[in-house]
Amino acid sequence: MNSEEFLQLLLREGFPEPVEVQQVSNGQLGIHEHPFEVKAFVVEGDITIVIDDLSKNYKAGEIFHLEFKQLHAESYGPEGVKYLASRKQ
């Protein structure tokens, strides 16, 4: 998938315009939640998301999705990560 296809997907699914998010290399965020649903497209680098002790790594060209208030942890690869994130209330 590319960023244009991701934008079309967001439009079809009723998500608003995404914002660009960048995280530092080898960084991490412990268990937390967001007061919104998230659909994000990885542009550069990679991010690992842990939900219910299950870990999944997402690389450039891949999409990740988090439900409203879904508990999760994040960690970022040696290049950090840049992604487009759309947040639906």
Rounded average pLDDT over 65-82: 98
Q: List, in order of start, the domains of the chain with CATH numbers.
A: 3-88 (2.60.120.10)
pLDDT band for position 15 (cuts 50, 70, 90) = very high
pTM for this prediction: 0.94
Q: Provide the CB-side half-sphere exposure for 18 (13 A, CA).
A: 26
Write out pLDDT tens, residues 16-38: 999 999 999 999 999 999 999 99
SS3 content of the chain, % helix, strand, coil (to 5): 10, 60, 30
At 7, is the secondary structure helix, strand, or coil?
helix
Contact in structure between 87 and 21 (CB atoms under 8 Å): no
Phi-psi category of residue 10: left, alpha or beta, with phi > 0 → left and psi -120 to 50 → alpha: alpha
Q: Tokens for 35? A: 């007061």
Write out pLDDT tens, residues 48-59: 999 999 999 999
